[in-house]
Structure 1
Amino acid sequence: MTSTTKTETTTRTAEDGTTADRTAGAPAPSRPAYRDLNVLRWLGAFTASTLGDSVYYLALSWAAVRGGSPAQAGLVMAVSAVPRALLMLGGGVLADRFGPRRVVIVSDAVRALVVLGLAAVLMAASPGLWVLAAVALVFGVVDALFLPAVGALPPRIAAHDQLARVQGMRGLAYRVGLVLGAPLGGLAVALGGSAAAFGVAGLLFVLSLPLLLTLRIRPLPADDATAQEGAGPLRDLADGLRYLRRHRVLGPLMIVIALSDLGFVGPFNVGLAVLSDTRGWGASGIGWILAGFGAGAAVASLLITVRGHIPRAGAVKAWTLTLGAGSIAALAYVPQLPAAVAVAVLVGLLGGLSGSLCGSLVQTHCDPAYLGRVTSVSSFFSLGVAPLTFPLTGAAIGLWGPGPVYVVSAAICALGGVYSLSVPALRRAELPRTPPRDRS
């Protein structure tokens, strides 16, 4: 068994982007993150929660379609986006103020109670759509708390030099949740209807709780842990935004994340349905393209998990984002489905690598005391602002066809890459090096 030290020297990023050494009183793991039982417990909890999300959304959409018109079903599915967008920044404040593990545990406990309660109601009666809308609304509120807390948790469970690996492991778990969640939810619906699917989702949320409760949490150093004492929530939020604005790496990185999400989500959501229809690929074509993208993204996450350190991470992130943007544009001009799937694999590989590196740079350059608020800002762009482009994307495709819209969307992504290259601190940003003992 490898030994551990009683103290650990880490690097704290100051508000101006410079770094300063500090000594933390938590033991430093002497093994890679994928061999750390504490990290693996977190990974199991995150995977169970992600699977629960996938099963829940499938069950919700099925129940809404069976209980009302397509327009009403769409409204039920969209309800959760409103509180998620409005409350996301506040969720980051709560994660930093009360601790991310506590917020994640409460979030999954609320999910479990609400979904299992809905399953029981569906078994006993046939409630109206207003019940489904109320559950979706609660889930939107919980997501606004859960997502920033999940982003702030890794520095509390892993060493600084292992955070890139943890980000890669999180990406793999997310892909597993997406790939397995839909078939699991579909099987539950086929065997027992929406009630059974909601029951499965609730049990998956329950499964995450004992794993989260057994996590060993690394305390923040005293200077970080006491930084927000005496301040109110609004002051906390203002301090977090001020920290982000002054940071030479994280401030520009938020702009890059916003541009990449704005350029990506339209073509790979609304755009794929129209593209598959116009090419005659049908619904199965959408599935194959998404499967190709997921495979490429999974390979990118696996690469970061195994290597742990990507040299010149800032520059690699910028170039993969720029090249991935070109692949998005090419997708609209590929006439055959096999070629489109191959392009989607390339988009997933390059986009997954740039996205994982963005997440890793956030994790490693942000002071842990601010990480909940910083994560809430990036999640606000990804899950709050970017989805608002769906109606615009659909209208633009109706006017000009998929080709020009894909090109414009790709140009927005490429602008994020070019901007990243133009900011010296971001272009030169590095991930912490993995000690030699982790490579053996």
Structure 2
Amino acid sequence: MTLRARLPSGAGPTVAYRDGNVVRWTAAYTASVSGDVVFFLTLSWAVTQLAGPAQVGAVLAVGAVPRAVLMLAGGVIADRYGPRRVVIGSDLARCLIVLGAAALMQFAIARLWMLFAVALIFGVIDALFMPAVGALAGRLTDPGQLGRVQGLRMLAVRLSNAVGPMIAAMVLTAAGVAVGLGLAGLLFSLSVGLLLAVRLNRIEPGVRKTGSPLADLKDGLKHLRGNRQLTRLVLVVGLGELCFSGPVGIGLVLLTAERHWAASVLGWTLSAFSIGGAAAGILLTALTRIRRAGVVLACCLLATAVLVGALGQVTTAGMLIAGSALLGTVSGAASAIGNALLQRNTDPRYLGRVGSVTSLSTVGLSPLLYPIAGVVAALWGTAAFFAGCALICLLATATAATKSVRTSDL
């Protein structure tokens, strides 16, 4: 790694984390992710108030299904109409649907079927938002700064996941569900306002349209299949993040219960994981270039595999918290570097479609591991589930160690 800056053509001595355009996007993304966290926690609480805890999983599943099914279509839409436009429209739509739900709760006219409908619509909007926000990140600045942009993105995600639940809990306790949903809507509206001031610094050729959205999707998949390095990077990112979009969190819950530790231990463990990821984001924003980033990525994934496997064997709460912090750091670094390399090697016309494939494998498919985590923990213990996650990370490591990936620079 070196500290030699690579500046955009015609730009002054401004690095990514001092670029007002990037800062506005980061603030908008932080507000949006925080709104997501507050919304889902508040929605879950609202369902328990109306119908009991047994219905929470069903409501969340109703939202998860369209998100997975429509994710690839979301990538096509992002590439056809531009990621900035789609992200702004998605956040605005989420703001309106959440504020509508807040009004229903405020006037006590909400019914369980209405919350199912809110979750369903939110899932559809998420399928549009996720590929578009990834494509937008890839077009904010010079390709040489993508590592920093992804570091800022990781920082935004982990801080939101750490702070969002605490804010939601305080609001729910003090003011109730309607105000909690209103807060989520306010955060989405803040994101929209900031995004309106964001401009794309990478001016690229117009979107390549082959006729119909289906033809565009086929064209994107053909582009992906035809580029071996890009295909392997998608596989690396997909496998590397599969266990960290929720399943590891479920595993930590099961491990804490299996060891008969207090709920406070779980809270500290999850917080340590988020803080570790935030630290990785801060580190990456301080670097102007990562030489042989593919090698660094493979090393981070290998460390992730070792740590996640070891986490299932810990015998004290202190070891669990410390191990979670280290795991959050190395897995966060791997995620940021992997996504930066993916965007560096993707034709900007295909950023949405390529990003939708990785989003599908992480956010879309990772919920399928939730029931598997419970079954494996019940039959063979939680350590077996963590060992399975370690194996997936080792597969990602092996893919990252191939010549086409390990020679990549950022």
Residues 382, 267 of structure 1: alpha-carbon distance in 2 compared, 3 angstrom cutoff: closer
1:254: Cα distance to partner? 1.6
CA distance in 2, matches of 1:400, 1:379: 30
Which range moves more in the overlay, 295-304 or 194-203? 295-304
Partner residue of 2:18 out of 16, 19, 35: 35
Equivalent in the alignment of 1:23:
none
What is the 5 A alignment of 1:19-30? 28=11, 30=13
Partner residue of 1:396 out of 376, 394, 398: 376
CA distance in 1, matches of 2:174, 2:83: 37
CA distance in 1, matches of 2:244, 2:190: 33
2:120 maps to 1:140? no
Partner deviation per Cα, 1:305-329 (whole Å, 9 max, x = no partner): 1103222110111111012111111
Equivalent in the alignment of 1:428:
407
1:103: Cα distance to partner? 0.3
Q: SS in structure 2 opposite 1:249? A: helix
Q: What letter corresponds to residue 250 of structure 2 in structure 1? A: V
Partner residue of 1:330 out of 310, 322, 332: 310
Of the two, which has the highest radius of gyration?
A: 1
8 Å Cα contact 2:142-2:202 kept in structure 1: no
Partner residue of 1:111 out of 91, 94, 97: 94
8 Å Cα contact 1:264-1:410 kept in structure 2: no
8 Å Cα contact 1:264-1:413 kept in structure 2: no
Q: SS in structure 1 opposite 2:176? A: helix
Partner deviation per Cα, 1:259-316 (whole Å, 9 max, x = no partner): 2234455751332122101112132222111112112111111111110322211011
2:256 maps to 1:241? no
| TM norm structure 1 | 0.88
CA distance in 1, matches of 2:247, 2:146: 31
Q: What letter corresponds to residue 214 of structure 2 in structure 1? A: L
Residues 333, 196 of structure 1: alpha-carbon distance in 2 compared, 3 angstrom cutoff: same
Q: SS in structure 2 opposite 1:80? A: helix
Q: What letter corresponds to residue 187 of structure 1 in structure 2? A: M
Residues 262, 154 of structure 1: alpha-carbon distance in 2 compared, 3 angstrom cutoff: closer
1:257: Cα distance to partner? 2.3
Equivalent in the alignment of 1:99:
82
CA distance in 2, matches of 1:302, 1:161: 17
8 Å Cα contact 1:29-1:36 kept in structure 2: no
Residues 129, 156 of structure 1: alpha-carbon distance in 2 compared, 3 angstrom cutoff: same
8 Å Cα contact 1:220-1:369 kept in structure 2: no
**Identity between Structure 1 and Structure 2 (%):** 45
2:292 maps to 1:315? no
1:170: Cα distance to partner? 1.0
Q: SS in structure 2 opposite 1:274? A: helix
8 Å Cα contact 1:29-1:158 kept in structure 2: no
Partner residue of 2:354 out of 374, 396, 413: 374
Which range moves more in the overlay, 255-264 or 112-121? 255-264
Residues 415, 64 of structure 1: alpha-carbon distance in 2 compared, 3 angstrom cutoff: same
Equivalent in the alignment of 1:178:
161
Q: What letter corresponds to residue 188 of structure 2 in structure 1? A: F
CA distance in 2, matches of 1:100, 1:122: 33
Which range moves more in the overlay, 258-267 or 404-413? 258-267
2:28 maps to 1:45? yes
Which range moves more in the overlay, 334-343 or 230-239? 230-239
Equivalent in the alignment of 2:199:
216
What is the 5 A alignment of 1:3-402? 28=11, 30-218=13-201, 220-222=203-205, 225=206, 228-264=208-244, 268-402=248-382
Q: CA RMSD in A?
A: 1.7
Residues 271, 8 of structure 1: alpha-carbon distance in 2 compared, 3 angstrom cutoff: closer
1:253: Cα distance to partner? 1.4
CA distance in 2, matches of 1:265, 1:88: 15
What is the 5 A alignment of 1:411-422? 411-421=391-401
1:412: Cα distance to partner? 1.8
Structure 1, unaligned runs of 5 or more:
1-6, 10-26, 432-440
8 Å Cα contact 1:160-1:364 kept in structure 2: yes
